[in-house]
Structure 1
Amino acid sequence: MSEKLKPAARVTGNRQDVWSIINEAAAASPKQPIVNMGQGFFGYNPPDFVLDAAKQALDRVECNQYSPTKGRPRLKKALSDAYSPFWGRTLDPETEITITTGANEGMLSAFMAFIEPGDEVIVFEPFFDQYVSNIEMPGGKIVYVPMHPPKEGAVKTLSAGEWTIDFDELERAITPKTKMLVLNTRDNPVGKVFSREELQRIADLCLKHQIIILSDEVYDRLFYVPFTRIATLSPEVEQITLTVGSAGKNFYATGWRVGWLLGPPHLIQYVSAAHPRICYSSVSPLQEACAIGFEQADAHSFWTTSIASMTPQNLAIPYSIPQGGYFVMVNLSAVQIPADYPFPPHVAHRPRDFKLAWFLIQELGVAAIPPSEFYTDANSHIVEDYLRFAVCKPDEVLEDAKERLRGLRKFLKKE
C-alpha cells in the first residue's frame, strides 16, 4: 500500500475489539435466540412521557433545525433545575452547562479542550474503553491505576464497594505532567460508587497537584447507596471538576446521543469551544424531549421506579453487588472449561474471561462481556475470572438468563 494511503496509527492494529468478538460469537452461536447481557443497551423503550415529548418535538419547525452549539436553552435550564439542589446553589445555564452529542463526545471535547501532546491523564482500571482513544487523539498519555477486587470475591457475593484503590499507587502515578484524572462513579464495569471518603482523598491529591477532575457520572440517577458528586465536596474541588451526564443512561435512550458537562465557567468555556469543532451542535428534537423528561420525571416518580427496576437479583454464584448502574460483575472461577475446548484463534490467546464469555455463548446462549478488555495487558489477570452482565433487560429476559445459567452446574469444579 502506498504510504499516502496508509491509515493513521490510532485506527490500525490486528487486535479485534471485545464488542466485535462477543457480538459475532453471539450471532453464530448454535444456542439461538441469544440472551444478550453483554453490551449495555436497554431491552425496552424510554418512558412514554419522554417518547411523547420526542414525537411532539418533531412537529415543531425550530426543533428540526440547528440548536445553539452550547445546547438548547430549555434543556440547559432543565439541567440547572435538576442539578442545582445537589450543588446547593443555582447553576448558571449559560456559563456552567454545555450540551454534547452523548457523554462520549462530551468527554472527547473535554480532552480536546485541555490535553496537549505529552500531557498525562490518570485512568482507573477497569475503564470504559472509549477513554483510551479519546485521550490519545489529542496526544495525551494514559497512566493507569488499577482497582483491586475483594480477596474473597471468588467465594462470596460482596458489595462492589469492596473493590478498592491503593492510594499510594495513585500518588505514585502523579507526575509534573499529570493534567487530568478521569473518575467513573458509579464505575463501569464494576458498579462501584466511590464513598465520600474515597472521593475526598482523590480530590485532595488533585487539589495538591492542580489536576483537572473529569467525573464521568452518567449513571448518576441509578444508585443504591449514598452517592456523592465529587464537585460538591467543596468550592475548591468544584473549581477543578467537570461533571459528565447522559440522557441515554437516564431515560433508557442510548441511541439518542444527548449528553452534557457541568463545571465552572473557566473550564466549561473551553469544552464549549471544542465541541462545535467536533460535531457543531447536537440533535435538536431529542434535546427538547430530554428537557421535558427532566421537567416531568419527578411527577412520574421516574427516578425511584428506575432504581427499583434495576436492582439486580441473586444469580446463585458469587458476584459484586453493584452500588449503582446496571452492570453486575460475576465471578466464575468455579467454572471448569474442558481442557480441549475448541476456541477459535482470536479467542484462544486472550485471557480466561474471553474464553469464559465464548464458552457461555456457545454452551448456554448467554452473552456477557469479558472485563479484562477494560484493563491493560499487565493487569488483565486481576479480572480473568469475572464476566460483566448488563441487567437493563426486561424481566422475562433476566428470567431466561437465570434459567440458562443453571446449565453451568455440570461445569463447576467439584469440591
Structure 2
Amino acid sequence: MVPGARRLEGLGVTIFSEMTRLAIAHGAINLGQGFPDFPGPDFVKEAAVAAIRADLNQYAPSHGLPRLRQVIARSFEQSYGHPVDPEGEVTVTTGATEGLHAALLALVDPGDEVIVFEPFYDAYLAQIRFAGGVPRPVTLWPPDWRFDPDELAGAFGPRTRAVIVNTPHNPTGKAFTRDELALIAALCQEHDVLAITDEVYDRILYDGAVHIPLATLPGMWERTITLNSTGKTFSMTGWKIGWAIAPPPLTQAIRTAHQFITFATATPFQEAMAVALEHAAESGYYAELAAAYSERREALRRALELAGLPVLPCLGSYFLLADASGLGFPDDVSLCRYLVTEVGVAAIPPSAFYADPARAPVLARFCFAKRLETIQAAAERLARLPDMNTPAKLAHAAQR
C-alpha cells in the first residue's frame, strides 16, 4: 500500500514541473512556468542585503513586521482609496498561495462549497479540498473570457461559503470589469458569502484596463479577504512575501491558521519589501513595470501570430493564450508536448486549470515574463511551426 492521505488523491506532479522537466530534457526555451528570467531591481536586493547585515534575521511577529504592514496598508489606501488598519487588517504571509491556504483553512468547514472561475490557478482546487471544501466551478468562456451571469447565480446555494476571484486573471489575462464585480458582490451579499480575491497581478495591466479591488465595492469590505504579493511586481518570485487584507474578525481567523502553517515569513525579505513598496510608490516604478511588460507582450504576440497561433485578449498578468485549434491536435496536452519536444518551446496546457480537463479548448499558455532576447529566440523556433507536418508527428510527440 502506498502511503498518503485521501486528500492527496488525484494530485500528482503539477503540470509546471512536467513541462519544465521536458524543457530541460529537450533543450527547449521555457515559456511555461510563470517566473522572470531576468533579475529583479537592484534597490530591492540591496534592501535585503542591508536587512541581513543589520541582523534582522530572527523570527518576525507571526502576522508580519510592523513596518511592512504599515506600508501595505498605506499603499492600498493610496491606490484604491480605502483606509486599512495595519494592526488589525493586514497579515503578512509566505506568498499569496499560503495566504489562500490560511484563509481557506480558517474559514471553510468540510462540506462547504467554494465557487471558482475556471480556468483557475491550479492551487485553488487542491487547497479547497485540503480544507474539506467542495469546489463549484463557473466557466469563463473564450475569446473574451466572460462568464454567464445565470450560471454564476445558479452556483450559489445554501452550502456556499466563499467565492474566489482572481483579477487580473491567470491564465486568461482577463481583468474583471466593474459590472462583473458588482454582480459578484450582489450575490455575495444576497447569500451571505465571503469573497477571497487573488490580486497578485494588480500592477501589470494593459490597454487602459483598471484594477478594481472587490473589497472596495459597497458592502464588500466586511466580507472580503484581499490577497496579494510582491513576487510578480518586483520579479522576486522566490522570496514569497505576500499578505492578506481583511476586516478584523476575518483577519483574526486567518492569523490563527497562519501561525500554525508557517508561523512567520522570512524577516529580511519582509524588511526589503517594505523598502521596495515605498520606493515604487515614489519613483514611477509601477508605470515602468507595465510599460516593460507591454513591450514583451507585443513581442510574443507577434511571434505567436506569425507562427499561425492566434492570440486571445490579455488585459493583465504576464501570460498569453494562443489558439491552436487549427493544427489538428485532439487536446492541449498533446499540443504542448509537441511544442516542447519538436518545436523547442515549452508552454502550459490550460486544461490543468479546469475541474474537468476534457472541457478545455485547445489552447496553450505562454509566459512573457522573459528577456526580449528569450522571446526572440522562441520566436525563431516558433516560426518553423507552419512548415512542420504536425499531424504526422502527433502520435510520436504525444507518447513522449
Alignment check: 8 A CA contact 2:93 2:99 kept:
yes
Q: Which runs of 5 or more residues in structure 1 are unaligned?
A: 151-161, 338-350
Quote the residue 1:28 is aligned against. 25
CA distance in 1, matches of 2:381, 2:103: 42
1:249 deviates by 1.2
User: Aligned AA for 1:382?
Assistant: A
Quote the residue 2:348 is aligned against. 369
Alignment check: 8 A CA contact 2:199 2:227 kept:
yes
Quote the residue 2:74 is aligned against. 81
DSSP 3-state at the match of 1:139? coil
DSSP 3-state at the match of 1:180? strand
CA distance in 1, matches of 2:220, 2:9: 38
1:60 deviates by 1.4
Task: Kindly indicate whether residue 100 of structure 2 is the aligned counterpart of residue 110 of structure 1.
Answer: no
Quote the residue 2:234 is aligned against. 251
Alignment check: 8 A CA contact 1:100 1:281 kept:
yes
1:224-249 deviations in whole A, cap 9, x for unaligned? 21221111112x11111110001111
DSSP 3-state at the match of 1:278? coil
1:44 deviates by 1.1
1:20-41 deviations in whole A, cap 9, x for unaligned? 3212221222xx3x21000001
Alignment check: 8 A CA contact 2:76 2:82 kept:
no
User: Aligned AA for 1:17?
Assistant: T
Counterparts of residues 400-415 of structure 1 (less than 5 Å): 400-411=377-388
Out of 266, 284, 290, which is 1:307 matched to? 290
Counterparts of residues 11-410 of structure 1 (less than 5 Å): 11-13=8-10, 16-29=13-26, 32=27, 34-61=28-55, 63-150=56-143, 162-224=144-206, 225-234=209-218, 236-311=219-294, 312-313=297-298, 314=302, 315-316=304-305, 317-336=309-328, 352-377=331-356, 380-383=358-361, 385-410=362-387
User: Aligned AA for 2:360?
Assistant: I
1:162-182 deviations in whole A, cap 9, x for unaligned? 111011111111110000000
Closer, same or farther: CA 14–169 of 1 in aligned 2, 3 Å: closer
1:264 deviates by 1.2
Alignment check: 8 A CA contact 1:71 1:98 kept:
yes
1:13 deviates by 4.3
Identical amino acids, percent of aligned pairs? 39
CA distance in 2, matches of 1:73, 1:14: 37
Q: Which runs of 5 or more residues in structure 2 are unaligned?
A: 392-400
Alignment check: 8 A CA contact 1:199 1:230 kept:
yes
Closer, same or farther: CA 367–76 of 1 in aligned 2, 3 Å: same
Alignment check: 8 A CA contact 1:335 1:408 kept:
no
TM-score where L is the length of structure 1: 0.88
CA distance in 1, matches of 2:203, 2:82: 19
Alignment check: 8 A CA contact 1:117 1:140 kept:
yes
1:286 deviates by 0.2
Equivalenced residues, count: 380
Alignment check: 8 A CA contact 2:82 2:216 kept:
no
Superposed CA RMSD: 1.7
CA distance in 2, matches of 1:46, 1:367: 23
Closer, same or farther: CA 265–85 of 1 in aligned 2, 3 Å: same
CA distance in 1, matches of 2:326, 2:80: 45
1:181-216 deviations in whole A, cap 9, x for unaligned? 000001110000000011001110111001100010
Alignment check: 8 A CA contact 1:373 1:380 kept:
no
CA distance in 2, matches of 1:199, 1:90: 20
CA distance in 1, matches of 2:374, 2:101: 34
Alignment check: 8 A CA contact 2:229 2:242 kept:
yes
1:47-75 deviations in whole A, cap 9, x for unaligned? 111111011111112x1000001100110
1:15 deviates by 5.2
User: Aligned AA for 1:409?
Assistant: P
Alignment check: 8 A CA contact 1:149 1:382 kept:
no
DSSP 3-state at the match of 1:58? helix
